[in-house]
């Protein structure tokens, strides 16, 4: 193995995407994803058992596709990395089992890595080495977190988290109430861009009072406020302005996210804000973060949308960083830990 430029095969199965990525150092060689989102759409959300079965069916073809993209053979792989947690237990087990099988067959080290840390590390594939320290705002269907990251391979410090619905979960629920479908994030973003007025409705901003936890998030009350506003319009026999509701709801979410993230940067003396996770693909979040950060001298780094959602490239990127940093690999009996804390970068 070349210590500073390892070729790492990464597996991601924490939710409904089967992701397989290949990375050499900080260079992305392949990013193959198979999604089961259409199978979950009729239920309005991810069904764990359906996701697990979809991972089983997609795993081997997705590995083959990644190798073809990279122009490599399995024998070229130096190490294997896999999301060990957090995530859906059954889905994680599929990825961990597959990664163990490949690592054992190839005689290569395996790294069970943290899903959230991988979302931070993936930015290296697009914008180069991470600044140290960096502030990370991770927003997805399962997580809304603020993390101080002195070193993504060894030192991640949680500052705040969601106390109820994550941002992406709120997007899904509001989209369902509006009749837009699933997944809700892209659909609400699209509706908001198509003529929506973000100031049309004054929806609440959760946990922004002077006595509230400064870096925690809460979107359950916002979701409920949107639902009640729509119900009141329908009871009155008035049409629901879908674009305005979508834009106003979206503005409430991104207002809170960016406000708290930049406050964290200021209080901890950090000059770089990294935004990751599926909701980081939201066009309004990206625009508002850059606008507000530039006004206070903070630099924002956001990966392209395809690297924000769950993917194997981010897992391979973190695996490559761990190898380069000299971190010991995981044992072959590493577990799938659905509640793995972000402070544990490696299982």
Q: How much is the average pLDDT of 312-326?
A: 97
147 in helix, strand or coil? strand
Phi, psi of 31 (to 5 degrees): -145, 95
234's enclosing H/E stretch is helix 220-235
282 in helix, strand or coil? coil
What does the pLDDT look like over 22-68, one tens digit per residue?
A: 999 999 999 999 988 878 788 778 888 888 999 999 999 999 999 99
**CA 177, 179, 182: angle at the middle one, nearest 5?**
90
Percent above pLDDT 70 for the chain: 99
Q: For residue 65, what are the CA distances in angstroms to 8, 72, 73, 247?
A: 15, 10, 11, 38
Asked whether 21 and 66 are in contact (CB, 8 A), the reply is yes
Is the pLDDT at 124 greater than 70, yes or no?
yes
CA dist 329 and 333 (Å) reads 12
**Confidence class for position 1, pLDDT limits 50, 70, 90:** very low
CA dist 92 and 347 (Å) reads 13
Q: How much is the average pLDDT of 160-176?
A: 95
Asked whether 133 and 149 are in contact (CB, 8 A), the reply is yes
Q: How much is the average pLDDT of 90-101?
A: 97
List all residues 6 or more positions away from 295 whose beta carbon is below 8 Å from its beta carbon.
none
Q: Where are the beta strands (DSSP E) in the chain?
A: 7-12, 17-24, 27-35, 79-85, 110-114, 134-139, 144-151, 155-161, 272-276, 299-301
Q: How much is the average pLDDT of 178-184?
A: 93
**What is the separation of C-alpha 150 from the centre of its chain, rounded to a whole number of angstroms?**
19
Q: Could you tell me the pTM of the whole model? A: 0.93
Torsion of CA 313, 292, 242, 202, to 10 degrees: 140
């Amino acid at each position: 193995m070349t210590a500073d430029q390892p070729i790492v095969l990464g597996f991601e199965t924490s939710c409904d995407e089967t992701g397989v990525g290949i990375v050499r150092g900080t260079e992305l060689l392949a990013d193959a994803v198979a999604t089961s989102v259409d199978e979950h759409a009729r239920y309005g959300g991810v069904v764990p058992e359906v996701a697990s079965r979809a991972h089983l069916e997609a795993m081997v073809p997705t590995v083959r596709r990644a190798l073809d993209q990279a122009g490599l053979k399995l024998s070229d792989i130096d190490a294997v990395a896999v999301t060990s947690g957090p995530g859906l237990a059954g889905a994680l087990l599929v990825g961990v089992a597959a990664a163990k099988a490949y690592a054992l067959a190839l005689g290569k080290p395996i790294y069970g890595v943290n899903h959230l840390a991988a979302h931070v590390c993936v930015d290296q594939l697009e914008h180069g080495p991470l600044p140290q320290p960096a502030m990370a705002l991770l927003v997805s269907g399962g997580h809304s977190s603020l993390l101080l990251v002195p070193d993504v391979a060894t030192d991640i410090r949680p500052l705040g988290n969601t106390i109820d619905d994550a941002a992406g979960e709120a997007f899904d629920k509001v989209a369902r109430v509006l009749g837009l479908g699933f997944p809700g994030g892209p659909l609400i973003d699209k509706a908001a861009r198509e003529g929506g007025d973000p100031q049309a409705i004054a929806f609440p901003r959760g946990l922004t009072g002077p006595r509230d936890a400064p870096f925690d998030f809460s979107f359950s009350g916002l979701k409920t406020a949107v639902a009640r506003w729509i119900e009141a319009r329908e009871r009155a026999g008035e049409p629901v302005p879908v674009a305005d509701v979508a834009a106003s709801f979206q503005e409430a979410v991104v207002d809170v996210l960016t406000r708290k993230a930049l406050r964290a940067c200021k209080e901890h003396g950090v000059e770089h804000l990294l935004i990751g996770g599926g909701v980081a693909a939201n066009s309004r979040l990206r625009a508002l973060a850059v606008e507000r950060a530039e006004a206070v001298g903070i630099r924002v780094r956001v990966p392209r949308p395809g690297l924000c959602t769950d993917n194997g490239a981010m897992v391979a990127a973190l695996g490559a960083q761990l190898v380069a940093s000299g971190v010991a690999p995981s044992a072959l009996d590493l577990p799938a830990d659905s509640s793995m804390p972000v402070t544990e970068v490696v299982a």
